[in-house]
Amino acid sequence: MKRILIISSSPRKNGNSQLLCQKFCKGAEEKGHSVELIRIAEKEIGYCRACDGCMRNNGECVLKDDMNEILKTFQDADVLVLATPIYFYGISAQMKTFIDRTYPIWQHLGCKDVYYIISAGLDKAIIERSLGDLDGFVEHLEK
Ligand SMILES: Cc1cc2nc3c(=O)[nH]c(=O)nc-3n(C[C@H](O)[C@H](O)[C@H](O)COP(=O)(O)O)c2cc1C
């Protein structure tokens, strides 16, 4: 049994990537895994202020919002699913904000299997040139 965290970042509640997240969730639960699906557009997650407060304060962010709880779930997860629509050749602002807010634990992101769920209007070549922010984040995982 693996602990799976799905970060769904489309603001559209019934959007394509969200529907794919729900399918992923159903399949994983049917296989006996424990899944948490978080729609970050519905959470209160402020922008990273780049104040370095977390670096001075043992990884504790100065912002007191939903991200603190999400980071705990993140650290416990064996599998991470990052779901985003493509907006102007990049990931959603919600997903980028989430990634930036992992800064307090960036040296302790742990080992995880990672999957991407990507939704776009155009073709695969457009998607591939749009994923640099996700790849840059995932490269910071320990494995
Ligand atoms: C602001 C905005 C920018 C977009 N930019 C792109 C783009 O650069 N390339 C692309 O293929 N699709 C683009 N799209 C289309 C979305 O990626 C597409 O509709 C996707 O299915 C939305 O994901 P969702 O259904 O999970 O919300 C854009 C949509 C919006 C609203």
Whether domain 3-138 has CATH 3.40.50.360: the reply is yes
Determine the atom of ligand 1 nearest the C-alpha atom of 19.
Answer: 26
Sheet holding 3-8, edge to edge: 34-39, 3-8, 79-85, 113-119
Give the tokens for residue 58: 């043992």
Domain boundaries, the chain: 3-138
Which residues line the pocket of ligand 1, CB cutoff 6 A?
Answer: 10, 12, 15-18, 85-89, 119-122, 126
pLDDT by residue (tens digit) across 19-68?
999 999 999 999 999 999 999 999 999 999 999 999 999 999 999 999 99
| Distance from chain centroid for Cα 13 | 16
In contact, 77 and 109? CB cutoff 8 Å: no
Q: Strand pairing partners for 38?
A: 7
Class of residue 84 by CB neighbours under 10 A (exposed 0-12, middle 13-18, buried 19+): buried
* pLDDT tens sequence across 88-131: 999 999 999 999 999 999 999 999 999 999 999 998 898 988 99
